[in-house]
Amino acid sequence: MTTLLDVRDVSKRFTMGGIFGRKTVDAVMDANFSLSAENPEIFTIIGESGSGKTTLARMILGLEDPSEGEILFRGKRVSRHGGRAEKLAFMSQVQPVFQNPFEAFNPLKKIERYLESTARRFLQTRDKAVIDRAMDEALQKVGLSLKEVRGRFPHEMSGGQLQRCAIARALIPNPPLLIADEPVSMVDASLRMSIVNLLKSLRDDLKVSVIYITHDLATAYYISNRLIIMQRGRIVEMGDARTVLDNPQHPYSKLLKASVLSTDDAGDGKLATDPGMVKAAGDLVGQAGKLVARPDGREVRVYG
Amino acid sequence: MAEDIVRVENLKAYYQMNYFGVRREVRAVDGITMTVRKGEVYGIAGESSSGKTSFIKVLAAAIRPPLRVVEGSVKFDFKNGPIDVATATPKQIEAVRWKHLSYIMQGSMSVLNPVRRIGKTFHDFASRPMGLTGKAFEDRVIAHLARLKLPADVLKAYPHELSGGMRQRVTIGLATVCHPEFIIADEPTTALDVVVQKEVLSLIRDIQKEMNAAVVFVTHDMSVHANVADRVGIIYAGRLVEEGPTRDMFFAPKHPYTAHLVASLPRIGDVKQRPALEGRPPNLADPPQGCRFHPRCPLAVDKCRQEVPPMEQVGPDHRTACWRWQDVKPLVGASAPSGVMA
Ligand SMILES: Nc1ncnc2c1ncn2[C@@H]1O[C@H](COP(=O)(O)OP(=O)(O)OP(=O)(O)O)[C@@H](O)[C@H]1O
Ligand SMILES: Nc1ncnc2c1ncn2[C@@H]1O[C@H](COP(=O)(O)OP(=O)(O)O)[C@@H](O)[C@H]1O
Ligand code: SF4
Ligand SMILES: [Mg+2]
Ligand SMILES: [Mg+2]
């Protein structure tokens, strides 16, 4: 197989002068995984708030350089540095989708302006007909059309439509890889499903790979091929999404699944988590351990 | 039954704008009547852009143009006297802010000034209402933060140096340090991981119980309401369409939209899609006639397209605005489409 993306022993350390005097934060430690070019997949990252998901995504997008290790895209090293043309070529291959559709768009600017500027940038043309065609093609892919969108302001569209527009914008250069950092966390359950189904059809029909970052275990279960679970900078479990979520093995993964709020006892005000589980997961923070393969194909971090 | 702490009466608040000479009016809050009782947690749910944040801004007396109250009242009964925040002067609002009425805005970063240390922000907000300064003030703040499991050092930090969960606890600290009677929280756990979310929610509940404060809690996430709210109100297109005790809303909803919201929650283990609602939320600049839900409602009849259904009492504490509420069947746990959403 040829690899599309190769994340090799990647770590990221931030230094900051503030909170507890001078201090370093290991946002990501020793991340390893790769995506194949032939088999597009939805690769999901779940984890603690602050566990390094966004930092990992930013490194893959070339917005941040790893402190250690390297990230290869189609065999070429991803870097924050490099010439303009080289960067543009890379950006046309790996595109981000942002979290909140209502914040991603300026309320006073027509939506097509965003699409237009992206099209102009990647197609390197000012030809109106070419730009319109590219915009319409991208919008068609997400179930919209330029005709529907033209002339409209963000508040004149639903949250689902806006998020579709954000995804359409990312699709303009025909990238083989999308990085979607919590694309559904601000939207309600039914919109969430329509966005997630869209990601699924991008994978199945257009062969686009998606790195899907989320806190929502249910949609992760529903669309992912593989997933990783992160705790404080480290991947603690990785494998086939359903295998992992049906029966999580690492103490943090177990805690995560047990913390999902249920509606079965709605109105009873039950919010307690088994303190034993919380302790078991908390005790492992800071320990390196190592990822060990299990017979069912997943990898779990073990200690001592 | 506890007394009311706030009575909202036929509240209408619109965004009134001028885009290059074209007047636009978005009727984000369009005739909401409800009350919140002392010491209860009232959950507000609804899809994106249904008007939740706009309603909450009026309730929190954080009304800024282009948003304007065009009709109705929001009367609080605070210990220091009654106040109608829909018509109060900035000075009158200043007198209740933080000490009686506090507001956790959507997006924790927005209250935390990125270039100001957390300690300074606490000072800006809370020193005056608490009537404390210097060491006495700092000690009180540190003791309060400790209850939220935050070290005193966070006071020296800048917002970007804290994790999402810590920032959210800091904003809860800000909103509760003056022991207000009424706390408003807009999506306080959206974008937190499920472990931290649960922790933050139980924290809000504990503090609320301890201070016997009333909390209005806004989120589109129904599973949060299921576990936190005493009562839940559903907003659709700027109007309250149903309100009732949490249990009833989940197990015996009396509005087709509520039935849909409750049934559409994806669960771990789902490998196929749950029944989804067709169509899109109405444009609040030009909302549909009659019942605003009619273009998407599987039970809609001619009457719904012409006449606005009134809020009707359908059980103890339970009200709904639907001409056909008696025909609404709950859909909880429906794994295959059935009942009204078929
Ligand atoms: N520019 C920065 N300077 C210093 N520390 C940073 C910076 N960016 C991130 N961090 C720290 O790195 C860690 C990982 O942050 P990151 O944003 O990647 O988390 P995340 O997994 O995306 O969390 P969330 O689920 O809350 O979005 C956190 O401890 C964060 O405070
Ligand atoms: N600053 C604003 N200017 C104009 N319209 C706005 C503004 N903020 C919100 N709106 C509009 O008001 C309606 C309700 O929005 P909002 O209260 O934010 O909904 P929710 O919190 O339920 O997602 C939407 O149609 C939205 O586009
Ligand atoms: S009034 Fe009619 S359209 Fe509105 S929710 Fe009830 S049945 Fe549906
Ligand atoms: Mg993040
Ligand atoms: Mg909102």
- Residue A18 sits in a domain of what CATH number? 3.40.50.300
Q: What is the pLDDT of residues A34-65, one digit of tens each?
A: 999 999 999 999 998 888 999 999 999 999 99
Query: Helices (H) and strands (E) in chain B — how many of each?
Result: 10, 12
- This prediction has a pTM of 0.87
pLDDT at B335: 37
Q: Is A79 on the interface with B (CB under 8 A)?
A: no
Residue A100 domain-assigned (yes or no): no
Q: How far apart are CA A16 and CA A26, in angstroms?
A: 11
Distance B167 CA to ligand 2 centre (A): 25
Instruction: State percent of chain B over pLDDT 70.
Output: 94
Q: Which is nearest to B211 in space by CA: B79, B70, B47, B51?
A: B79
User: Within chain A, which residues score under 50 in pLDDT?
Assistant: none
Question: Amino acid letter at B248?
Answer: D
Q: Which ligand is nearest to the CA of A152?
A: 2
Q: Which amino acid is at B89?
A: T
Looking at residue B107, its pLDDT comes to 66
Q: Is residue B19's pLDDT more than 80? A: no
- Its sign, for the CA torsion B308, B313, B319, B325, is negative
B304 lines ligand 3 (CB under 6 A): yes
Phi/psi for B138 (5° steps) reads -60, -40
DSSP conformation class of B97: B
**Banded pLDDT at B84 (limits 50, 70, 90):** very high
Instruction: Read off the pLDDT of residues B269-316 as tens digits, 9 standing for 90 and up.
Output: 888 877 677 777 787 888 899 999 999 999 999 999 999 999 999 999
pLDDT at B336: 33
**A211 to chain B, minimum CA–CA distance in Å?**
17
Say if B123 is an interface residue toward chain A (CB within 8 Å): no
In this prediction, residue B33 carries a pLDDT of 97
Length in residues, chain B: 342
Distance (Å, whole) CA B222 – CA B233:
11
Averaged over B90-95, what is the pLDDT? 92
B160-193, pLDDT tens digit by residue?
Answer: 878 777 888 898 898 889 999 999 998 888 778 8
Task: Please say whether the beta carbons of A41 and A225 come within 8 A.
Answer: yes
Q: Dmax of chain B from CA atoms?
A: 67
CATH of domain B4-229: 3.40.50.300
The first and second tokens of residue A218, run together, are 């249910």
CB A163 within 8 A of CB A194: no
pLDDT band of B334, cuts 50, 70, 90: very low
Q: Which of A153, A201, A156, A149 is nearest to A178 (CA)?
A: A201
Question: Does a structural domain hold residue A147?
Answer: no
Tally of domains within chain A = 1
Tell me the chain A residues in contact with residue B281 when contact means C-beta distances shorter than 8 Å: 158-159
Q: Compute, in angstroms, the gap from residue B329 CA to the centroid of ligand 3.
A: 13
pLDDT in tens, A112-122: 999 999 999 99
* Whether the predicted pLDDT of B233 surpasses 50: yes
Say if A146 falls within a structural domain. Answer: no
Domain ranges in chain B are 4-229, 236-327
A195 residue type, one letter: I
Residues 251-270 of B with CB under 8 A from A: 251, 260-262, 264-270
- The single residue listed with the structure tokens 């390297």 is A70
ipTM value for the complex: 0.87
Give, for B58, the enclosing helix (H) or strand (E): helix B52-59
Domain coverage including residue A204: 3-93+175-303
Task: Quickly state the pLDDT bin for B337 (edges 50, 70, 90).
Answer: very low
**Torsion B218-B292-A150-A174 (CA) sign:** positive
Judge whether A142 and A197 are in contact, CB under 8 Å.
no
Any idea which of A190-194, A227-231, B144-148, B264-268 has the lowest mean pLDDT? A190-194
Q: Name the residue with higher pLDDT: B109 or A144.
A: A144
User: Are residues B247 and A189, on separate chains, in Cβ contact within 8 Å?
Assistant: no
Mutate to test the pocket of ligand 2, among A152, A153, A155 (most ligand atoms within 8 A of CB): A155
Residues of chain A with C-beta less than 8 angstroms from the C-beta of B235: none
What was the pLDDT predicted at A17?
A: 61
Residue B229: closest CA among chain A residues belongs to which residue? A267
Return the beta strands (E) in B91-141 as ranges.
Answer: 101-104
